[in-house]
Amino acid sequence: MDFETANPKRASVCAVGVVKVRDGVVVDALDTLVQPPPGHEAFNGRNVAVHGITAGDVVGAPAWDVVYPKIAEFAGSDAFVAHNASFDRSVLAQASEAHGIFVPRSTWLCTRDAAKSVLDLPSYRLPDVSAALSIGAHAHHDAGADARQCALVLVELCRRLGPRGLDLVRHHVRVW
């Protein structure tokens, strides 16, 4: 899962991407622009410079209260995986709170933290971890592309670590 925000406020979700992995293969994806919640819709120039999404891009996009149920159905009981899961989990929680949506506790795994325990890199940004794992470049800060890349990182970490890999990766699972 990956989010982009309109401004520094975590509730200001303006894009989300989610992919589903089965047996080490990405089998489905859901990504969409999102109309930020009321009171959080101002786009900050710094955020726009990062992801390129503007207020004009989200005109007519669904609001979070429409998107969240689709994501919940898509994910089902699967764990969420994100590269910097504490950020993505907080965006999910705060955007939902802004719409009065109850979000049940869910299982999250952080690929950035997992990579830190396995790889010795100067930077653990998603593109840097991907390169270290020989995963091709992607459109960084595109929510759908980042979600897919995160999934590929998890799959490759598990593959490289072999039978003990899943146990090492599970060390980075949290329930929020």
pLDDT tens digits for 10-38? Answer: 999 999 999 999 999 999 999 999 999 99
Determine the pLDDT at residue 163: 74
pLDDT of residue 162: 79
Residue at token pair 């595109």: 142
**pLDDT single digits (tens) 79-108:** 999 999 999 999 999 999 999 999 999 999
CB within 8 A of 67, min separation 6: which ones? 16, 32, 34
How far apart, in Å, are the Cα atoms of 55 and each of 3, 5, 40, 45, 118?
16, 11, 11, 11, 39
- The per-residue DSSP string of 93-142 comes to HHHHHHTT------EEEEHHHHHHHH---S---HHHHHHHTTPPP--TT-
List the single range of 37-46, 92-101, 164-173 with lowest mean pLDDT.
164-173
